[in-house]
Amino acid sequence: MSNEEQQWVLQAKRGDTAAFEMLVEIHAHFVYNLALRVVRNPQEAEDLSQEAFVRAWQAMPRFRVEARFRTWLYRIVTNLCYDKLPRLKRELSMLDPDDALELPTSHKSPEGQLLSKEMEQTLHAKIDKLPESYRLLITLRHLQEMSYAEIAEVTGQPLGTVKTGIFRARRLLRNAIAEYEND
């Protein structure tokens, strides 16, 4: 968290709506996309994102300044997603954390890894069909560059569960690539 953001958090805690508006500006894009990727409906995603910010505002006085604001905010969004889609939490908690895992430590694609348009569309279609729980996990991992530990904190799931979910999502996408290449 930058010093500027830290300052806005402190001011928002004291009831400064202008400071809170700055925090909304910073996080709105990701919060909206996170909600959209889970609920898949733009109107519902907007409602859910706004509700998350309203709840964050209401709870601001209770926010501990030593905690990370984005983790706290995304946890609110994730909890709202759980309320909206109760099966999402069930799916996550049913993942076996003991699955064999060989996850890459970095999630940044190297330069030059261009996909053909057709393969990209195939993979996007596959992502569309992934269970919401997998989409939630890979969104947190890729869109916001979160560590597995931070994702575990946001989702309220054990670290092993998070890693298993991301591993399985990637395995499904790898299978889609293999199928595409075999065709």
Partner 1 sequence: MIDDPRIDTAIESYDVAALPKGFTKRTMLRVADVGTEQPAFRLHFIDMAIPVFVMSFLATIMLVGGYMLNSANPFWLQDLQAAGATLFAEVGGYFPIVALGLGLIGMTVFLLALLLITLISSRPQVRLQI
> Considering the rule CB under 8 A, would residue 117 count as an interface residue with partner 1?
no
Q: By CB under 8 A, name the one of 61, 87, 149, 179 that touches partner 1.
A: 61
Q: By CB under 8 A, name the one of 19, 37, 95, 150 that touches partner 1.
A: 37
> Considering the rule CB under 8 A, would residue 14 count as an interface residue with partner 1?
yes
Of the candidate spans 22-30, 74-82, 85-93, 154-162, the one that interacts with partner 1 by CB under 8 A turns out to be: 22-30
Closest CA to 129 of 172, 87, 80: 172
Q: Between 86 and 182, whose beta carbon lies closer to partner 1?
A: 182
Three-state secondary structure of the chain: CCHHHHHHHHHHHCCCHHHHHHHHHHHHHHHHHHHHHHHCCHHHHHHHHHHHHHHHHHHHHHCCCCCCHHHHHHHHHHHHHHHHCHHHHHHHHCCCCCCCCCCCCCCCCCCCCCCCHHHHHHHHHHHHHCCHHHHHHHHHHHHCCCCHHHHHHHHCCCHHHHHHHHHHHHHHHHHHHHHHHHC
> Considering the rule CB under 8 A, would residue 36 count as an interface residue with partner 1?
yes
> Considering the rule CB under 8 A, would residue 67 count as an interface residue with partner 1?
no
Of the candidate spans 56-64, 74-82, 85-93, 150-158, the one that interacts with partner 1 by CB under 8 A turns out to be: 56-64
Binding residues for partner 1, rule: CB under 8 A, are: 13-15, 17, 20-21, 24-25, 28-29, 32-33, 36-37, 42, 46, 49-50, 53-54, 57-62, 102-104, 107-110, 113-115, 119-120, 123-124, 127, 138, 142-143, 167, 170-171, 173-174, 177
